[in-house]
A = this chain, B = another copy of it.
Amino acid sequence: MAEQEEDVIERDEDDYGLDPKLVQSILDALSDGDAARIDALMEPLHAADIADLLEQISSSERRALVGLWSKGIDGEILSEIDESIREDVIEALPHDVLTEAVRELDSDDVVDLIEDLEEPVQERILDALPDSDRVAVEQSLTYPEYSAGRLMQREVVTAPEHWTVGEAIDFLRTAKELPDQFYHVILIDPRWHPTGYVTLGKLLSSKRATPLKDILEDSFRTVGVMEEEGDIAYAFNQYHLISVPVVDEDDRLAGVITIDDAMAVLDEEHEEDILRLAGVGEESSISDGALQTARQRLPWLIVNLFTASLSAIVISQFQNTIATLVALAALMPIVASTGGIAGTQSLAVAVRALATRDLTASNARRVVLRELGAGLLNGLGLAAILGIAGSLIFGAPLLGLVLGLAMVVNQIVAALGGVLVPLALDKLGLDPALASGTFVTTMTDVMGFFAFLGLATVILL
């Protein structure tokens, strides 16, 4: 007992998530093989934090911890674990533990758990489910990935349109199985079409005799099972929704999506944006090994090798110019790299605005003109600085002029490229973030070298 008190982790109350000091204590206990201390240290942790713990430690530590920890992995932890190590953890679990864990979960969590697993592991989990749940999960899996049908939970709380508040409350009190979380009672007509919903708050604060029809929410809208989860997350954020009924092809109620699922989707979409912009496969994870990481990043590096060769070809056209004035070789990256930064700036704003639907066909023309203007202004500003510095440092006003002019040209190319590339990708139905960075920096590199060396050839030689 005395030893255990020593271990009390002092931590910043303002901090959420897993405390690195706690992780260290757990790893110490693990290397001592002290199962009792592991149990004590992990006892207060939320399932989401335990999942993070498993992601942050090495795979051998993970297997040792799963073996020593008496409480063991339950369904909630399993559903929080990142895809990158999920298979690893599942394969380490004894059959009975796995069975118990997945049986605890709602059907939508099981779907989320298994959709990206390999066939044999999927089969192992499906076999652990009772028949009725297995059918529900298999049905959900028939909907395409990233669709509302995959995201929704099938457990819904409904009431006939003609019910009163009192009837609805009496029904809820006697209902056998209600979902863990629900925020609306959905009104359905006799053909199971959702026609409106009532918040639980309204239900609680209205008189028993009030017809449900009289306290419907204005915000009511439905989504189709085939709609994309990204669109749905956008709708939740845009319209401040809390839950949305999902309907099948015949407009019949099929399930419901709640805001916590939408928030998770929004978060994933952001991850995708930031990683794709940088040319990283979005399935990359912090627990991946070096080889896996290298493999995810190599494709865009090879693409860049080829696009960079374009710059090399452009420069090689000016070998005579460079041979005459070698200082040009030292100065040319300044124009190219400042163009790269400007292109990245313009690109980040455009990709973000497309994601939040603030950049649309309605204002695309104005935004492109705005970028053109901003590129011109900054080009002139940078040209002034660079032209003066070039003149003063090299005592060569004409060199300053060349630097300045090339900068103006490249800043305009950067600003336009940063907005036109994602707009074009979007128009083609591709993700605007997809490798835009590589395209735009290729443009600014090639144009930066070409404008600088070309102008130098004309003006200086």
Contact = CB atoms under 8 A, between A and B. Distances in A.
Given A20-B360, A239-B48, A273-B274, A14 B279 contact: no
Interface in A261-299: 262-264, 266-267, 270-271, 273-275, 277-280, 284-286, 288-291, 293-294, 297-298
A234 B319 CA distance: 55
Interface stretch (A96-104, A188-196, A198-206): A198-206
Contacts of A351: 274
Interface string A353-386: 1001111111100110111111111100110011
A326 B264 CA distance: 54
Each complex incorporates copies of this chain amounting to: 2
Nearest to A241: B260
A286 B363 contact: yes
A17 B238 CA distance: 8
Interface residues of A, number: 140
A132 interface: no
A182 interface: yes
Interface of A: 13-18, 20, 23-24, 46, 48-49, 52, 55-58, 82, 169, 172-173, 175, 178-179, 181-183, 199-201, 203-207, 224, 227-228, 231, 234-240, 242, 259-260, 262-264, 266-267, 270-271, 273-275, 277-280, 284-286, 288-291, 293-294, 297-298, 300-302, 304-305, 308-309, 311-313, 315-316, 319, 322-323, 326-327, 329-334, 336-338, 340-342, 344-345, 347-349, 351-353, 356-363, 366-367, 369-378, 381-382, 385-386, 437-438, 441, 445, 449
A263 B56 CA distance: 26
B267 A18 contact: no
A340 B286 CA distance: 21
